[in-house]
Amino acid sequence: LNKLELSELDKKHYLHPTTPPRAHYLSGPSTIFTEGKGIYLKDIEGKERIDGVSMLWNVNLGYGNEELAEVAKQQMLKLSYSSSFSGQSNEPAILLAQKVASLAPGDLNVCFFTSGGSESNDTAFKLARFYWKVKGQPEKTKIISLEQSFHGVTVGATSATGIEGFNKFTTSNAPNFLTAAAHVLNAELGDKSDPNYSRSIRGIIESEGSDNIAAVILEPIQGAGGVRFPPDGYLQAVRKLCDEHNILLIADEVICGFGRTGKTFGVDNWNIVPDFLCVAKGISSGYAHLGAVIMREHVREAFIQSDEMMFHGFTYSGHPMACAVGLKTLEILERDQIVKNSRLRGEELLKGLKYLESNYKHITNIRGLGLLAGIELVKDPENGISFDPAVHAAALYTDICMDLGLQLRYFDWKGTNTVALAPPLIITSQQVEEIINRMSDAFKRFEKQI
Ligand code: PLP
């Protein structure tokens, strides 16, 4: 079918996630992708563009990887599906669990498989509560998350999500979720004079009572919140706080996991070990619907000390094809030194972004670690004057980039105009340069249009 025919069918029958339904119904799909190879995408009009964000921060090994396609095909032919209920198992799931344990820090040795990030976080919330139940403290149920966090869209994950649009999408959320101010280091270290003290994790633990709190969840680096980095020492402070108050720590590594930040996991940048580490996206590089909750030995120990049944699990937990693809993804990650590439190419990307900052007037607040980076667009960086929200500066800039063959994402929550970069981890130096060149051309046009 041609673009027009597909657009008409799309408008009529396809309700899209994170898209305004009315505008979409009127105008149809903005792009219909048809092909992908490496870091390049092609749409139905034959236009090629670089995927500068790995689509949804997930296509870490790029498109059209033959090894991943082959392993999926072979596994589908050999055993297309098997359950993991009632103790039944399959080889790819077992080997993937072992591989993940070998990569995860500390004694994060036990995996529970899911089909994606929201399911992983929901599972971690339930397992944290189950942990306290089997330990004889069933009243420890509350979950603390951070402002501007994104943890997914199932009822639990959306209730933990701090970004207002998602959190307030419906008029009712799950109970026992609390939101803390993000990244207020001094308050977390105990400084009561910090203006955010009462809204900090520490302040909330004090007001709610640690006996009521099951877990704290955070992203090592916030993604959809606007690529927001914690101050140095923050993750260590939160880990210590949780230990002192007998509260579990959940790291949402759905974006950061498996090399995105130049280390295998985001938490590896700050040398902490959470009690649960939730992954998805990069574990299969977007080739299969797969996620996992990795838990520490003491968590599994609590479960096996009890006679309770694990009344939790998805039809697709431990799906053999998804796990075979996951296993191959992680083998490629190690064999091809993808994490190292992320670190080295990330340094080049950051340098390129700083070059753009020194050459164009509306860029500021460049930050990046590995191949996860963000920039902000402001009207006047020297005097700290933001663009009028009505001009939608970040949207305009990413539209121009798109037109010039570079797919990026923007976040304009709370008046910031953040543009995010997270290219596939297989990117070469030359391709990083190509991204910077296209961004540079886009800035020239942006300055004329804004
Ligand atoms: N957690 C984080 C940090 C994410 O960025 C996302 C998705 O972008 C999720 C969880 C939800 O993952 P999924 O869309 O696979 O449910």
**Pocket of ligand 1 contains residue 251 by CB under 6 Å:** no
Percentage, residues of the chain above pLDDT 70: 100
Nearest protein Cα to ligand 1, atom 1: 151
What mean pLDDT do residues 211-236 have? 98
**What's the CA gap between 29 and 14, in Å, rounded?**
10
DSSP assignment of 196-226 equals: TGGGSHHHHHHHH-GGGEEEEEE-SSBSTTT
Question: Atom 10 of ligand 1 has which residue's CA nearest to it?
Answer: 151
**Residue 216 in this model has a pLDDT that exceeds 90:** yes
* DSSP conformational letter for 154: S
166 Cβ below 6 A of ligand 1: no
pLDDT digits (tens, 9 = 90+) for 45-68: 999 999 999 999 999 999 999 999
Q: How far is the CA of 446 from the centre of ligand 1 (A)?
A: 31
Distance 401 CA to ligand 1 centre (A): 24
pLDDT score of 407: 98
Q: How far is CA 338 from the centre of its chain?
A: 18
Instruction: Collect all residues with Cβ–Cβ distance below 8 Å to 271 and sequence separation of at least 6.
Output: 105, 236
Short-list 237, 442, 289, 265, CA closest to 356: 442
The predicted model gives 69-87 an average pLDDT of 97
> Is 43 exposed, middle or buried (CB count within 10 Å of its CB: 0-12, 13-18, 19+)?
middle
Cβ of 282 closer than 6 Å to ligand 1, yes or no, is no
Round to the nearest angstrom and report the end-to-end CA distance of the chain: 37
Q: Does any ligand 1 atom lie closer than 6 A to the CB of residue 252?
A: yes
Question: Residue 77 carries which DSSP code?
Answer: H
pLDDT at residue 414, rounded to an integer: 85
State the average pLDDT over residues 397-403.
98
- Confidence class for position 74, pLDDT limits 50, 70, 90: very high
Tokens for 85, please give them: 């209920």
Question: At residue 415, does pLDDT exceed 90?
Answer: no
Cα(255) to centroid(ligand 1), Å: 7
CB–CB of 53/407 below 8 Å?
A: yes
**Amino acid 33: pLDDT:** 98
- Nearest by Cα to 428 from 370, 342, 352: 342
pLDDT band at 352 (very low <50, low <70, confident <90, very high): very high
Domains of the chain: 31-64+337-449 (3.90.1150.10), 67-335 (3.40.640.10)
Rounded to an integer, the average pLDDT of 2-31 is 96
**Which tokens hold the place of 37?**
């190879």
Average model confidence (pLDDT) across the chain: 97
* CB 116 less than 6 A from any atom of ligand 1: yes
Q: Which of 18, 56, 114, 118 to mutate to test the pocket of ligand 1 (most atoms within 8 A of CB)?
A: 118
Structure token digits, residue 287: 């080739």
User: 281 C-alpha vs ligand 1 centroid, how far in Å?
Assistant: 8
The rounded distance, in Å, linking the Cα atoms of 265 and 173 is 30
* Ligand 1 midpoint to CA 356 (Å): 30
Going by pLDDT thresholds of 50, 70 and 90, the confidence category of residue 390 is: very high
Question: Nearest residue CA, atom 5 of ligand 1?
Answer: 255
**Of 363, 322, 364, residue with least CA distance to 450:** 363
The pLDDT of 266-271, averaged and rounded, is 98
Find the mean pLDDT for residues 65-80: 98
Model confidence over 142-189: pLDDT tens digits?
999 999 999 999 999 999 999 999 999 999 999 999 999 999 999 999
Q: In the structure, what pLDDT confidence band is assigned to residue 350 with cuts at 50, 70 and 90?
A: very high
CA of residue 117 to ligand 1 center, whole Å: 4
Would you say the CB of residue 219 lies under 6 angstroms from ligand 1?
A: yes
Per-residue pLDDT, 340: 98
For ligand 1, the distance from its centroid to the CA atom of residue 149, given in whole angstroms, is 10
Mean pLDDT of 289-303: 98
Confidence of residue 431 (pLDDT cuts 50, 70, 90): very high
Amino acid making up residue 39: I
262 CA from centroid of ligand 1 (Å):
19
pLDDT of residue 26 exceeding 90, the answer is: yes
106-155 pLDDT tens trace: 999 999 999 999 999 999 999 999 999 999 999 999 999 999 999 999 99
